[in-house]
Structure 1
């Protein structure tokens, strides 16, 4: 096996394309626990229609099979991901972007001074070191159980910017037809109090600046940006808008030549650094600011934005279209597990004096100012209507779960379901993200957590007539079923994305394929109920972060982002404010559920 970053890509196995029959059977089995008998019967009829020998389902699946076999196509999901991420028309700020809060005691943090500029300079130096190594394909592929994983997402770490479109967004990125090979940019974009600056991080002769030089550059930014930008001139607010509206505003910006140059500087920048002028009140406040913050001090379309607070605490906000959590975790771990001095030495950084710093300025007419001001006010209200909560278990982690002879993730998911039932009196659709980077162009698979065995476990736990032995047996069975379903997802044997892509094909090519009639499947109770999440869950295991988070995905959903490590378990919960009481009730019952499940398993 080669250690070159992208060497394994062409040799990785392809994501298997399920048969239509397999996906239909799994879809029925996965949705059934959430349906009444009548709803299941309606859904079964819709599946029968999908499987008709002369039906549109066959036509759409055959089109997908032909696409999968097309030379140059890496995966049958290659068009699914742009449709899913770039096709969404609502705002991505808070709705789609995600964050990590870094620990304050990492090797990188300990190697810098405690001030904001020193911490930020260390992060910048580390990221530049990673970028230059990536250019040389010297970042070794991540391995899992001895198998190399896909690294293609790393091509979206630097100089990638999402561009709003009327019908669908696009991506401006290196390693593309428009820009073959790695980014040639030598600068980053730095925000402070809504002011935006270009800061060079690689010198005129090609050597990176040292952390000390970078700190001098950041101090220059702070001095030049001391005066906060008026709310109607902080252009970053526009990146919070629904995508088609933002596309119209971007077109208006581009009508002015000075703005063409400003956007060029911003969109080609290696990444963003957002310097905040305050220290968070507590951990939850830090997380909230990483998720949304002052949108005038952000560019949410940028793939990577490091946020550094006035007290040196730091984290990252990530635009999701090209990057999943596992890729960002590997990136962040590499940055944070090495000292700033070692990163600088490894990259060949040289003392060159303070780097060039220049403002990135936009020319705005009254209409654009009005749009910017309104966008900022609207997003501030939207963020305020997002209720969040941090929950920590300092005495429970993967080590304890393994002592109890249970999969740590199964323990977490069983706890979530028990807490949800106790807090709301029902079992609802639950999503869990499962990484599939062992495949070429692999990203994630959509796991549906609710199984008959899991419902039987929750039923047993809330029934005072059921004895401990039966509850224990139900827990073990539910956990084993959970692990088995996760393995199915890891192997590509999951129905949702396959069936969803058939729907996308019909939208894109229905007329061409003669498949324009609405398919009953996509209006069936199974499809709508299975995907109407009450809990949307995802984990991020890294010793270098304290919290991971994302926004809620629907009016009744609780987003559950969790960091489950050997010695601790931290969660960031998010839900719309109108149902915040339900989130707080869920959190309270989660503490009890964890204690009850731990005590139950300890009897075995």
Structure 2
């Protein structure tokens, strides 16, 4: 399995997605049945039972990788101290904790060693989930321009989303599989054979033809799910029986059924009529928009939510929480990509409910995006959903510009939710709005497009496109701030049962040496020497990527050992008290890559106050990044430095006098 997964993409500290080759392959032909996306002959969860378990790395390997990642960040004296603490940990308390972790893992074969601690990490976090957790991915516009009308596109996306819901619950969504040899495994013959292999053995059958099924345990949280604020630790709630959609417009809340009593999708013309009714409602923005509360610090929101319930809002909240998903209709067009990023990442706060597992946000001109809550899972399910909805809504739209609205009484079908607010609740909403405004007004976003070349050219140079992109960020930071800094890039471990993510640490001794050679240029290396350094960076980044995809990084292992020590009430081992440990986990550069025909743009906020949030994509003939920062960093200068770094790299690669 060492070749199993190439670098995968994610937003923020933990959202990983499965490889684009999996997600972008041609899925089985769409069913002619308007209720379903497809009817896979292999059941959706066919491979789940036999997925391999996420391995726990050897402690000595994790320590070695940890020290390798620390090397470029520390001076000699700091490194010697950190190395000693790491060795003491490896031979002392760490060894005991590691053995306990192995034992615990053996007793919980139904899951992975990281799953429980990772859920806790998210659900126990008390900071607001806006900017600190929720990312966005925007849809590519519909290729048929006239279908980008807000009403038409919203209707089509709702219908396609409901087809997805029905397909997965019927077990007829194609299983998520990474095909190393699609000619052999992504075929009808393979599917006809593998469906008869028992679930307890099916993974091995796929493995024989170089096909690797991925974990799909998170998918059930996509629909009818919400993160409920609770004091100290939030709770995830899923209500699969609910049949209604939640729609927000101008801070007002509406619900209507998208399934009938028999479980069939409501006629598209009726859904369109109900959405038109909502868009035509002249109700002003409420003086106290309740949606702001979901952007609050979590303990604050938990206490206010209880007050909401006590003040007669329990039924309204139940309808919000149990809705299939949230559709936010914004009453303005998208101006440009920067405006799009700000609106889809946070918006004004009044027309959002950030706690839903995901929301589809759509502006007046049909620009659409998914903003999703992160604790329930990683991006595997969300990106699959986005790809399927884009494909279905554009290739098999339920309504067209010529469609007529159903002659139904939407005033009876659509219920407008009313929230009863006393002075205490109004004060809480005002406070939440002030906090929200202060937070989002401090965020700056800049975008960059490098048009000199992309994936195709870099492959001719036998260099990893991802490695080159990551090197450009290291060079840019060195150029701007004169140093190498802690950098985070995430990789999916969905090849394993209940796998989550592992961290790739792109800052290495190789990228440091190469960046200094390009930026400082004091030794004036030749073009040939620079090319050799680029090859070293690419090779090492490839190694780190393979290790992470196979669950052989160090971050999750050390995190689990620390979590175990804390759960036992032990004193925090010295390794974790080392300033160098805090520094490497203070991820100034938080990076994530995403390329999909369904996705136009994606983004997230920095994970630390003095950091950058770097969403990037390497396309066939260009490289782009969408970068966010708070006032501590100059984001405009950073993207200029990234562009300059890519220019420098491509200049060397285009030098015909240098032998490849």
- Structure 2 length as normaliser, TM-score? 0.84
Measured at CA, do residues 163 and 594 of structure 1 come closer, stay the same or move farther in structure 2, by a change above 3 Å?
same
Q: Choose which of 490, 501, 513 in structure 2 pairs with 1:444.
A: 501
1:15 alignment partner in structure 2? 54
Pick from 212, 224, 230 the counterpart of residue 159 of structure 1.
224
Count the aligned residue pairs: 577
What is the match of residue 270 of structure 1? 324
Are positions 1:294 and 2:348 aligned together? yes
Measure the CA separation in 1 of the matches of 2:515 and 2:631: 27
**Aligned counterpart for 2:629 among listed residues 575, 578, 586:** 575
Distance in 2, matches of 1:292 and 1:266, equals: 19
Q: Which string of whole-angstrom CA distances, capped at 9 and with x for unpartnered residues, describes residues 13-59 of structure 1? A: 11101122221222122212211122112212322332234x3x233
Aligned partner of 1:477 in structure 2 is: 536
Q: Which residue of 1 aligns with 2:23?
A: none
Structure 1 residue 495 and structure 2 residue 554: aligned?
A: yes
Residue in structure 2 matched with residue 399 of structure 1 by the alignment: 456
Secondary structure class of the residue paired with 2:576: helix
> Is it true that 1:428 corresponds to 2:465 in the alignment?
no
Q: How does 1:538-549 map to 2 (within 5 A)?
A: 538-549=592-603
CA contact (8 A) 2:115 2:499 kept: no
Please give the alpha-carbon distance, in whole angstroms, between the structure 2 residues aligned to 1:561 and 1:395: 19
**What SS class does the counterpart of residue 517 from structure 1 fall into?**
coil
1:27 corresponds to 2:92: no
**Cα deviation code 1:69-92 (max 9, x no counterpart):** 124531111212112211211111
Match of 1:105 among 142, 162, 165: 142
* Residue 651 of structure 2 is aligned to residue 592 of structure 1: no
Residues 256-335 of structure 1 aligned to structure 2 (within 5 Å): 256=311, 258-335=312-389
What SS class does the counterpart of residue 188 from structure 1 fall into?
strand
The answer to whether structure 1 residue 85 and structure 2 residue 122 are counterparts is: yes
Contact 1:432–1:446 (CA<8 Å) still a contact in 2? yes
Contact 1:96 1:320 (8 Å CA) reproduced? yes
User: Are 1:83 and 1:504, in contact at CA under 8 Å, matched by a contact in 2?
Assistant: no
Counterparts of residues 555-574 of structure 1 (less than 5 Å): 555-574=609-628
CA drift of 1:505 comes to 1.8
C-alpha deviation, 1:344, in angstroms: 4.8
Q: What is the CA-CA distance between 1:402 and the residue it aligns to?
A: 1.4
Secondary structure at 1:541's aligned position in 2? coil
Deviations 1:320-373 (A, max 9, x none): 11232333221111111124683659xxxx979466210122111100110011
- Which stretch of structure 1 is more off in the superposition, 290-299 or 77-86? 77-86
8 Å CA contact retained: 1:236, 1:296: yes
SS of residue paired to 1:471: helix
Q: Which residue of 2 aligns with 1:43?
A: 82
Shift of 1:395: 4.8
Query: What are the Cα deviations for residues 580-601 of structure 1, in whole angstroms up to 9, with x where unaligned?
Result: x2x2111111111111111212
Which residues in structure 2 correspond to 1:497-512 (within 5 Å)?
497-510=556-569
On the 8 A contact 2:566/2:572 being kept in 1, the answer is no
CA drift at 1:559: 0.6
Deviations 1:420-441 (A, max 9, x none): 1111111111100111111111
Per the alignment, residue 553 of structure 1 pairs with: 607
- Partner residue, 1:173: 238
Q: Secondary structure at the match of 2:347?
A: coil
Deviations 1:549-576 (A, max 9, x none): 0011112111101122224433211111
Structure 2 CA distance for partners of 1:221 and 1:105, relative to 1, 3 Å: closer
Following TM superposition, by how much is the alpha carbon of 1:411 offset from its aligned partner in structure 2, in angstroms? 1.3
Q: Deviations over 1:79-130 (max 9, x none)?
A: 1211221121111111110001111134xxx397332111111110110000
**1:209 offset after TM fit, Å?**
2.1
Check 1:157–1:41 CA distance in 2 against 1; reply closer, same or farther (3 A cut): same
CA distance in 1, matches of 2:388, 2:451: 25
Tell me which of 142, 156, 171 is aligned to 1:137. 171
- SS of the residue corresponding to residue 16 of structure 1 reads coil
Could you tell me whether the CA contact under 8 Å between 2:155 and 2:271 is conserved in 1?
A: yes
| Distance of 2:383 and 2:567 partners within structure 1 | 34
User: 1:532 and 1:399 mapped to 2: Cα distance?
Assistant: 34
For residue 487 of structure 1, report the CA deviation from its aligned partner: 0.6
Compare 195-204 and 354-363 and name the one that shifted more. 354-363
Range with bigger deviation, 270-279 or 23-32: 23-32
Contact 1:210-1:344 within 8 A present in 2 as well: no
Distance in 1, Cα, partners of 2:214 & 2:357: 21
3-state SS of paired residue (1:4) = coil
CA RMSD, 1 decimal:
2.0
Q: 1:2, 1:8 within 8 Å by CA — same for their partners in 2?
A: no
Match for residue 409 of structure 1?
Answer: 466
Q: Quote how far apart the aligned CAs of 1:470 are.
A: 0.8
Structure 1 pair 138–31 and aligned structure 2 pair: CA distance change class (3 A) = same
Q: Which runs of 5+ in 1 are unaligned?
A: 175-182, 511-515
Using structure 1 for the length normalisation, give the TM-score: 0.92
Q: Say whether the 8 Å CA contact 1:396–1:568 is kept in structure 2.
A: yes
Contact 2:160 2:389 in 1 (8 A): yes
1:117-155 per-residue CA deviation (whole Å, 9 max, x = no partner) reads: 111111101100000001111111222122111111211
